[in-house]
Amino acid sequence: MSEQDDPSRDRLKHHFAQRVTNQARQVLEVWQRLQRTEWNAATLAELDDASLRLLRYAERFEQVGHSQLAHAIQQCVEGVRANRGRLSSDLIGELSQLMQRLSRTGLRHGDQLEQIALPALRKPVYLALQDLERCERLVQQLHSFGLNAIGCSTRAALLAACEERRPAALLIDLDFSGAQQGLAIVQELQKDQENRLPVLFCSDVEADTPTRLAAIRVGGEDFFCGSVDASSLLERIEQLTHSTHDDPFRVLVVDDSRAQSTHAEMVLNSAGIITRTLNNPIETLDALAEFQPDLIILDMYMPDCQGPELAKVIRQHERHVSVPIIFLSAEEDLDKQLDAMSEGGDDFLTKPIKPRHLIATVRTRAARARSLKARMVRDSLTGLYNHTHTLQLLEDACRRGQRSGMPVSFAMLDIDHFKKVNDTHGHPMGDRVIKSLALFLKQRLRKTDHIGRYGGEEFAVVLPDTDQHTAWRLLDEIRQRFAEIHFPTGKQELHCTFSSGIAELESGLDSRALSKRADEALYVSKHGGRNRVSIFQGEPTLS
């Protein structure tokens, strides 16, 4: 037997690779905690220690991708130290991008950074449903998305499984093993546990408020009523297990005083908030379009214009209507504060303000604004960006690409024979296929890519910093994997495919022309046999 064929050697390599992945998760967990606290010497040391261990493990076990990322994180940490322990917006942004890439780096052959891989959970997810057939079907669907899901048919089986291995999360029927026995079972599982198990309850009927309160008290994080689909469940599990990555908040500070704006920047940067300062209020609209902050901090009194006047100008632009504006001023007259807020402000903070109060206010306002914006610009069925916002993101990406000289690709996707799916299996199955493709794309594309539901069964993807050939390889891999998913439909299984067209931004091309080219490439794929990805090659010459 050759060394390459030695199964014990393969098991050893897998064990080593798993240690690297586990350490990578430790780095990500530290980063997630830092997003909720203020940076200091202790938190910096914790990140330094976790990333250094990752670097050592990755080098020892020859995991090249993880090694490169760990080295880059170490350089950022050194950059913070060189800056006398202070974070800058550039360092926060760079660390955020590195953490995004780390969360996407998996354990495929060669450990290449460019490869797409799911951040597989270290622990399984248990499903305990009264309807065993539905439970098995849901387990199979979750397996298709790369999730380690295990069904438990009885109360004893669930308790034994949890005793043997604590899961990452649990989906349990409210009436599992008896009327509302799911609550009692979860309460037993949570007993004497230092860290509560994330639990998702489900019920065939709408749950009343007392029932939902009882579920929350035993650790229930969500409550599904009616049918539970795999895509919604997986998305919620990813949120609960922190396998998704949240971008740092972005704040624009407009203040004519360089000292005051720099102080606010330092305070917010210390909390991991990307902050940009602007001392000339006349440049605000240009900065908003380029920086796209989650929140704006305005000084009340500036030489060229007053804060309330600038707030009114900002609110005249539809794209900035929902961005929170906080006035930060020494003004103590309550009437003047209220007048300022009536002109478009959302809050008023009086100088001097304690750093932790400023950080808490910004985080609360920015988080709520993000949540509301997500509801405004996203499609209700899939959670992807809607048609209008997708085109806006494409326009922004094209503008940045033309300015920086970096490539931008745009792809359009269309589910093949979708009308037949609806006609044969019904619209609920059609919705399931649409949601599944949406989740599939979200799992396998980068955080920096923008995915939208263009309309019906059609999707669009904006790929910044990506040439058309790289985009083709990526989408063709996704196309092949999506075709392998099976959708149980009773007597038979349904398999679906999609076609795609790709176009790359060229000099002098605007977003509308780029979109038209991608649509023409999609037309080529559709009329060339479907289930394929085509790159725009000029005007189509189909017979």
pLDDT digits (tens, 9 = 90+) for 29-69: 788 777 777 777 777 888 889 889 888 888 887 788 888 88
Residues 6+ apart with CB under 8 A from 487: 141, 429, 432, 433, 436, 493, 494, 495, 496
Q: DSSP per residue over 255-306, as a string? A: -S-HHHHHHHHHHHHTTT-EEEEES-GGGHHHHHHHH--SEEEE-S--SSS-
Residues 526, 410 share a domain: yes
The rounded radius of gyration (Å) of the Cα atoms in the chain is 26
Give residue 535's pLDDT band: very low, low, confident or very high (50, 70, 90). very high
Residues 530, 391 share a domain: yes
Please give the average per-residue pLDDT across 136-153, as a whole number: 82
Summarised one tens digit per residue, pLDDT across range 94-133 is 888 888 778 766 433 333 333 333 344 457 899 999 988 8
Neighbours of 483 (CB within 10 A): 13
Question: To which residue do tokens 């922190």 refer?
Answer: 242
- Report the pLDDT value the prediction gives residue 120, as an integer from 0 to 100: 41
Within a domain: 502: yes
- Report the pLDDT value the prediction gives residue 83, as an integer from 0 to 100: 78
Whether the pLDDT of residue 400 is over 50: the answer is yes
Please give the average per-residue pLDDT across 408-431, as a whole number: 91
Give residue 186's pLDDT band: very low, low, confident or very high (50, 70, 90). very high
Query: Is the preceding omega at residue 352 within 30 degrees of 0, hence cis?
Result: yes
Within a domain: 160: yes
Q: What is the CATH number of the domain that holds 473?
A: 3.30.70.270
Residues 528, 392 share a domain: yes
Within a domain: 68: yes
**What is the chain's mean pLDDT, rounded?**
83
Residues 258, 236 share a domain: no
Residues 341, 217 share a domain: no
Could you give the count of Cα atoms lying within 13 Å of 521 in the half-sphere of its Cβ? 26
Q: How many domains does the chain have?
A: 4
Residues 259, 230 share a domain: no
- Report the pLDDT value the prediction gives residue 479, as an integer from 0 to 100: 92
Residues 232, 186 share a domain: yes
Within a domain: 379: no
Residues 516, 409 share a domain: yes
Q: What is the CATH number of the domain that holds 223?
A: 3.40.50.2300
Within a domain: 115: no
Residues 403, 353 share a domain: no
Residues 220, 279 share a domain: no
Which of 327, 361, 395 is at the close of a domain?
A: 361
Within a domain: 272: yes
Looking at residue 495, what DSSP letter applies?
A: -
Residues 223, 257 share a domain: no
Q: Are 224 and 201 in contact (CB under 8 A)?
A: yes
Within a domain: 233: yes
Residues 157, 32 share a domain: no
- Report the pLDDT value the prediction gives residue 182, as an integer from 0 to 100: 93
Summarised one tens digit per residue, pLDDT across range 336-374 is 888 878 777 888 888 888 888 999 999 999 988 887 877
> Residue 150 belongs to what domain range?
125-240
Output the CA–CA distances (angstroms, integers) from residue 389 to 10, 377, 397, 460, 515, in the order listed.
47, 6, 12, 11, 14
Residues 6+ apart with CB under 8 A from 81: 44
- Report the pLDDT value the prediction gives residue 121, as an integer from 0 to 100: 43
Tokens of 107: 């354990």
- Report the pLDDT value the prediction gives residue 453, as an integer from 0 to 100: 93
Within a domain: 381: no
Which of 104, 137, 168 is at the close of a domain?
A: 104
